[in-house]
Chain A
């Protein structure tokens, strides 16, 4: 695991966006060789998406040959509901970039057969040769995607009922009315994320501090599903100072000491500022 500790939300976003940009540009995607990117929703990636949009508008990055797979979608919300994850992705990313709509994959929470929808999603990922980089966030309870505490670390894309904490955390997007928040979602499994060739998790804020501690300093545990990534060969975690509040001083010092090496991984090849 590489742990990048930056100053604040803004630098987490910038670092994350630069990393995605570099991975795509180094890959040099083409019509025959598409870059497969997994994407999250929620408040954490908004800053990263904003930065990616800036890169596209400055013509430093193109999504022309990028395929995306989102992590999750609410069950029962129409695609154009303002709080659906389709709407979130449109508003924050897709409407501003040059991605081909045929290359965009988001689970359909209104599909007539939800189980078939999940199986088809897994198949679509396989058909594309797997995911090159899966970007994600974590919940305060340590979940990745909607893999709530107790989810199998080998799980695949499926229907999940949401934990009370998650519903409460989401109420702020539904007029603070807990009754309006969907109770189920379709989500990629922990196993699905683990299959990606690389995983990058963005973590910001003190509310995530305990989850980060359990994710990287405690053992692998299905009560903190993001901890499964300890077993991933290429796991990159970007967090800010506030998110480290529950880590050991030793852990923080160790990873901060490696920042010189880490920074190189987002530098442009021609070392531009």
Chain B
């Protein structure tokens, strides 16, 4: 028997605003209560008092290399069980869907690992939804490889064939990061990846000029991998890929999305504000998290590297090179909001509106925008009617109180937020 649930006494993030409204769920989907009232003439079977919590769509992470000690790039560790284990643990960060990311690796690694990480629907039992794989490299620029191993990098002299030889199959892949200045990328590879294999092509770890970047977008690329990092810096006579945030010669319907690591380490808050002011609708928060995410300070494994975690920074052992972040996506949302607030000059005004300032933008950067990158904004990243019931409870400081996947409670910070304690009406 399918029950009708009503969550009330809450504030929803819906239609780009915070609104006082109830959330109605049935069969793991968000539904329109007005239709139920007039057509089915029934009331909710079970009602939950949300104690004034803020309800947002569940967070979506498009770039995460591992977490809680597990490394998605490791062939030794790769298994469905490991993926599910991480998917469950990530719910404590408010993440209800993610794209496991694999850094530049050898062909044998890809061919072993890619078939294992299949897309799967999330649930309270199995954790966050797996939305496909993000293959970051190895077709990237040597000078902008960041933490990727030089000896694993490859070139695309023979076009798409080189990619197929390296990866094997694109079947489980959703996103690919590549450097568009490499041979044949703009001319052949990108168009084929988009049209034939339905991939989201992301530009990153690249020395491309703005001109090359624009041609890549016109060829079908739609995302930029961790803006500012591993690319040429913005120069006023040579804007590089960063210039794509302002670029004009694109069809009006084309929007360029860009990942941003807002962990207070990879991107200065002024850079966050700059990007946001120039192109707010394209901003996508990503963690680019290393396997140490969720763990205390120490030394851990990623790809073929040793990583040292110290405070908020993760570096390659023996160097100062940043190799990814250890901030959770929930923390990134908080840091983004703080970065935007820090830019406000009128700090004296204290009123109702300001207490929620930038909440919607920060949340949309981790929900609606990543969903739009993957063309799934009708199912994920939204509380609109018909969408999957993946949502989170937040307090006014945007700390995660509880996470729901397909309408079921997957995680709760304390027993106070368990649905058994929130229930005020039962069908019995």
Please classify how large the interface on chain A is, using the bins under 10, 10 to 19, 20 to 34, 35 or more.
10 to 19
Bound complex: CA A79 to CA B41 (Å): 13
B-contacting residues, A57-100, CB 8 Å: 79-80, 86-87, 90, 94-95, 100
Output the least CB separation between B425 and chain A (Å). Answer: 11
Which residue in chain B gives the minimum CB-CB distance to A79? B38
Bound complex: CA A116 to CA B22 (Å): 36
* Chain B residues, Cβ within 8 Å of A104: 37-38, 41
A-contacting residues, B14-41, CB 8 Å: 22, 32-35, 37-41
Please classify how large the interface on chain B is, using the bins under 10, 10 to 19, 20 to 34, 35 or more.
10 to 19
When the two chains form their complex, are residues B41 and A90 in contact, meaning their CB atoms are under 8 A apart?
Answer: no
When the two chains form their complex, are residues A95 and B34 in contact, meaning their CB atoms are under 8 A apart?
Answer: yes
Bound complex: CA A94 to CA B40 (Å): 14
Q: Which among B37, B40, B41 has the greatest number of chain A C-beta atoms within 10 A?
A: B37
When the two chains form their complex, are residues B41 and A102 in contact, meaning their CB atoms are under 8 A apart?
Answer: yes
When the two chains form their complex, are residues A79 and B33 in contact, meaning their CB atoms are under 8 A apart?
Answer: no
When the two chains form their complex, are residues B34 and A101 in contact, meaning their CB atoms are under 8 A apart?
Answer: no
Bound complex: CA A95 to CA B35 (Å): 11
Q: Is the interface of A mostly helix, strand, loop or mixed?
A: helix
When the two chains form their complex, are residues B38 and A95 in contact, meaning their CB atoms are under 8 A apart?
Answer: no
Q: Is B346 an interface residue (CB 8 A)?
A: no
Output the least CB separation between A63 and chain B (Å). Answer: 12
Q: Is B345 an interface residue (CB 8 A)?
A: no
Bound complex: CA A90 to CA B39 (Å): 12
Q: Which among A87, A90, A100 has the greatest number of chain B C-beta atoms within 10 A?
A: A90
Which residue in chain B gives the minimum CB-CB distance to A94? B37
Per-residue interface assignment for chain B, residues 209 to 246, with 1 indicating a CB less than 8 Å from any chain A CB and 0 otherwise: 00000000000000000000000000000000000000
Bound complex: CA A86 to CA B41 (Å): 13
When the two chains form their complex, are residues B34 and A86 in contact, meaning their CB atoms are under 8 A apart?
Answer: yes
* Chain B residues, Cβ within 8 Å of A94: 37
Q: A101-B42, A101-B43 are known contacts. Are A87 and B34 too (CB-CB below 8 A)?
A: yes
* Chain A residues, Cβ within 8 Å of B38: 79-80, 86, 90, 101, 104, 106
In order of increasing CB-CB distance, the 8 nearest A-B pairs are A101-B41, A90-B34, A101-B37, A102-B41, A79-B38, A86-B38, A80-B35, A80-B34
Interface residues of A (CB under 8 A from B): 79-80, 86-87, 90, 94-95, 100-102, 104, 106
| A-B contact list, 9 entries, CB within 8 Å | A79-B34, A80-B32, A80-B34, A80-B35, A80-B38, A90-B37, A95-B22, A101-B40, A104-B38
